Amino acid sequence: MVGEDAFCCTGCEVAWSLVHEAGLDAYYARRDEAGTRPAPLTGAWESVPFTELADGSCEVTLQVDGLRCASCTWVVESLVGQQAGVHDATVSYATGRTRVRFEPDAVSVRALADTIAKLGYSPRPLDAPAPRDDLLARLGVAAFCTANLMLLSVSLYAGWGPGMEARFQTLFQWGSLALATPIAAYAAAPFFHSAYRGLRAGAVGMDVPIAIAVTVLYAHGAFRTLNGAEGYLDSLGMLVTLLLVGRVLERRGRRAAADAAAAIASSLPVQTRRRTETGVEDVPVDALVAGDVVELGLGDEVPVDGTVIHGQASIQMAILTGEAEPVSVGIGGEVVAGASVLAGAVAVRVDKVGEDTLAHRLAAAVRAATDRPLPPNPADRLAPAFTIVTLTLAGLAGAAWALMAGPERGIEVGVAVLVVACPCALGLSVPLAVASGLGAVARRGVVFQDGGRLLALAGVRTVVMDKTGTVTGGTPAVLSADDDVLARAASLERSSRHPIARAILAECERRGLALPLATDVSELPGSGIEGRLNGEWLRLTSAGPGAVVLQSESGVSGVIRLGDQPRDDAAAAIAQLHAAGIRTQLLSGDHPEVTAAVGQALGLDAALGSITPEGKAEHIDALRRDGPVAFIGDGLNDGAALAAADVGLAMHSGVTSSVLLADAVVTRAALRPLVAAVAGARATEAAVKSNLTRAIVYNIAAIAAAMFGLINPLVAAILMPLSSAWVVIGALSVDRRIDRMETEWTS
């Protein structure tokens, strides 16, 4: 069914025979898009961590990039799953995360990755496999036990007035204790673990007062139940359940951010063509050394930093300049790794490889800069003081009452202080408000790596923006041209990869113009394109920034004006930022005039052009003296600026690895999400502050009342959930606050 000469390359043939031998020919019926050329496997596959499962088999998680459709997941799962020594493979189409269960004696992780790579997908080792924890199971247990505990406790409380048969009272009390035991022993275990870990490391976090509260509540309840009294264990259930809800929300937010980052792979090529004495050979980029000569043609990405020794090409250096507009590079010109050849062909002498290339150095500089510590969670900062103050007050009150009214009353008051000094409101105040803020902002198109970075955005005074790809769409668009000129130009540009060609073709399609077929088309690297249309000779050349000219034998026949258009919502978003009291600046590697024009059109406070990647970082450092600065950009060349700013936001254009280095990713091609993020950060900060205030006010009032012996355990049991509910309501207000702020800034 497939002829011998039907393959475009040996890679396809290998993949086909793999698929064919495995009896999976159905793949070709299922796929809806042709595959890509397989790249050889690179990376340290020998040391990939995997986990041993209970049944003796092992499990490894790989990130597989390049999955395009549901049948990609099917073929990877089936082929890997059929390999000897593999139990099964599960591929998540949404995230590309692939989980393989295998026998380490029979097959190596490298062999698994090799199978995937041979199919044309790119497997990557994941640094740390996501730990599977029991948090959800613990929350389930806590919620189940607490719901039933409430049922029994409410019955007991209701029975106080009219009276209750003693045997039912006993049944309910012991039932409560039975339900509270799994809560304290199983559901609350994470708090004990992390409190213990913290104490051993000499740090008192929020988990320490929580662990103390759980212990005191349970011991007190158990003691009272054994003595035939009501144990007030429902407070324990509410405390643990609500705190676990906070934890689960917090973790889900973090995971969503990690997935967003993992979905973007590095853009450097892994294979290239090296010139040899007799011809050209395919080699992995890792094998190149300085002095080698590589040949690059149309569509290739430059794998190394080097100098052109032969030929001429139009090369897009967005990695260095951030501009989509290609530059013409001839003999003696320098190219950098990560740039791509849009037209022409060149031979490049390798100057620097691997770690020494500009792309690697930029990434390394950024990584070093992002090691800046995050602001600590405000509740964790309060925790040590809270713990010490509560314990001291409980001791003092207990001692005082013991002296006045005997030791029994002393213990009772001491316990009451510990019980009402509920860390619940304090422990929940921040995670709930932050989780609610992260969720609200994510729904509006910005995914933050974690809550600390979101809160950092609240205090920002200046927002610095990159021009190309951030404020503007990043690719040129046709501003004005006659239909006739456009159609003739498009015929020439039909198969060109140049951004201008694509803009012209896109505009033609939008206008619905027919494309006559041109002949004898040849690209003039770096200057234009020429060919014949209906026998007439035509040439399309650049005429300065923002314009191309169509020439025929009889002279100039038309001009097409092009420009990088600002995003539709840019002006509105910038006006909203100004209304929010934030200064805006535009920094670009583009011509100062073009930058200034965009800046003026959109009403930015300042617009500076011709700025290098390092220059952007320095400028931001200078601005930081006047208050926190946020930076929003898109290219890898923005990496240093993203790291230098207090908050770095990356536009998710799908090709940049800078996303990995940013604090947040804007998931929509628009500027509006930035405004929502600022509003979200301020709303979250306000909610955190008001929640902390509520928690502190509650604790001061409750502790004081308990110290004076005014609070009995029933009052405490009612107050505790009320204080938590108060905090929950505070957190839920974030969404409303964002909408209100955005509306306020619009007018």
Is residue 63 within 8 Å of residue 96, measured between CB atoms? yes
Q: Nearest distance from residue 129's CB to another protein, in Å?
A: 12
Q: Which residues of 600-612 are buried (b: 16+ CB within 10 A; e: fewer)?
A: eebebeebbbebe
Rounded to 5°, the CA angle 54-59-64 comes to 160
Tokens of 534: 């209906």
Give the C-alpha separation, 633 to 474, whole Å.
Answer: 11
Please, which of residues 93-112 interact with another protein by CB under 8 A?
93-94
Span from 163-171, 596-604, 651-659, 687-695 in contact with another protein (CB under 8 A)? 163-171
Query: Residue 143 or 702: which CB sits closer to another protein?
Result: 143
Q: Nearest distance from residue 146's CB to another protein, in Å?
A: 11
Q: Is the dihedral of CA 725, 726, 731, 733 positive or negative?
A: positive
The residues near 433 (Cβ < 8 Å, ≥ 6 apart) are 684, 687, 688, 691, 730, 731, 734
Query: Residue 141 or 456: which CB sits closer to another protein?
Result: 141
Q: Nearest distance from residue 136's CB to another protein, in Å?
A: 4
* Selected binder of another protein within 8, 9, 106, 137 (CB under 8 A): 137
* Selected binder of another protein within 92, 108, 271, 475 (CB under 8 A): 92
Instruction: Rule CB under 8 A: say whether 165 interacts with another protein.
Output: yes
Of 290, 268, 270, 282, give the one whose Cα is nearest residue 356: 290
Site string for another protein, 590-629 (x = CB under 8 A): ----------------------------------------
Give the C-alpha separation, 281 to 300, whole Å.
Answer: 15
Q: Nearest distance from residue 144's CB to another protein, in Å?
A: 4
Give the C-alpha separation, 429 to 246, whole Å.
Answer: 9
Instruction: Rule CB under 8 A: say whether 175 interacts with another protein.
Output: yes
Tokens of 22: 């495995």
Span from 132-140, 382-390, 618-626, 629-637 in contact with another protein (CB under 8 A)? 132-140
**Dihedral in degrees, nearest 10, Cα atoms 238, 243, 245, 247:** -170
Instruction: Rule CB under 8 A: say whether 331 interacts with another protein.
Output: no
Give the C-alpha separation, 563 to 677, whole Å.
Answer: 29
Q: Nearest distance from residue 259's CB to another protein, in Å?
A: 10
Q: Nearest distance from residue 656's CB to another protein, in Å?
A: 24
Query: Residue 16 or 93: which CB sits closer to another protein?
Result: 93
Query: Residue 134 or 593: which CB sits closer to another protein?
Result: 134
Distances, alpha carbon 6 to alpha carbons 1, 9, 20, 32, 72, in Å: 10, 9, 14, 18, 21
Is residue 230 within 8 Å of residue 173, measured between CB atoms? yes
Q: Nearest distance from residue 389's CB to another protein, in Å?
A: 37
Q: What sections of 227-301 are H helices per DSSP? A: 234-262
Span from 144-152, 274-282, 554-562, 698-706 in contact with another protein (CB under 8 A)? 144-152
Instruction: Rule CB under 8 A: say whether 189 interacts with another protein.
Output: no
Chain centroid to CA 375: how far? 19
Q: Nearest distance from residue 162's CB to another protein, in Å?
A: 13
Query: Residue 252 or 349: which CB sits closer to another protein?
Result: 252
Instruction: Rule CB under 8 A: say whether 58 interacts with another protein.
Output: no
Query: Residue 25 or 282: which CB sits closer to another protein?
Result: 25
Distances, alpha carbon 217 to alpha carbons 5, 418, 542, in Å: 77, 8, 78
Q: Nearest distance from residue 474's CB to another protein, in Å?
A: 29
Span from 5-13, 34-42, 134-142, 265-273 in contact with another protein (CB under 8 A)? 134-142
Instruction: Rule CB under 8 A: say whether 70 interacts with another protein.
Output: yes
Q: What is the largest CA-CA distance in the chain?
A: 113
Instruction: Rule CB under 8 A: say whether 171 interacts with another protein.
Output: yes
Query: Residue 132 or 200: which CB sits closer to another protein?
Result: 132
Give the C-alpha separation, 562 to 332, whole Å.
Answer: 30
Tokens of 130: 């996501």
What are the strands, taking DSSP E only, across 251-387? 271-275, 280-284, 293-296, 305-316, 327-329, 334-335, 340-352
Instruction: Rule CB under 8 A: say whether 271 interacts with another protein.
Output: no
Q: Nearest distance from residue 73's CB to another protein, in Å?
A: 8
**Dihedral in degrees, nearest 10, Cα atoms 113, 116, 118, 121:** -120
Instruction: Rule CB under 8 A: say whether 154 interacts with another protein.
Output: no
Query: Residue 245 or 337: which CB sits closer to another protein?
Result: 245
Determine the 3-state secondary structure of 529 from DSSP: strand
DSSP string, 554-587: TEEEEEEEEE-PBPTTHHHHHHHHHHTT-EEEEE
* Selected binder of another protein within 26, 203, 226, 697 (CB under 8 A): 26
Give the C-alpha separation, 57 to 105, whole Å.
Answer: 10
Backbone angles phi, psi at 537, to 5 degrees: -80, 135
* Selected binder of another protein within 28, 144, 192, 726 (CB under 8 A): 144
Instruction: Rule CB under 8 A: say whether 148 interacts with another protein.
Output: yes
Query: Residue 138 or 672: which CB sits closer to another protein?
Result: 138
Site string for another protein, 691-710 (x = CB under 8 A): --------------------
Instruction: Rule CB under 8 A: say whether 168 interacts with another protein.
Output: yes
Q: Nearest distance from residue 101's CB to another protein, in Å?
A: 12
* Selected binder of another protein within 52, 88, 103, 134 (CB under 8 A): 134
The residues near 694 (Cβ < 8 Å, ≥ 6 apart) are 425, 429, 723, 726, 727, 730
Query: Residue 140 or 299: which CB sits closer to another protein?
Result: 140
Residue ranges binding another protein (CB under 8 A): 26, 70-71, 74, 92-94, 132, 134, 136-137, 140-141, 144-145, 148, 165, 167-168, 171, 175, 178-179
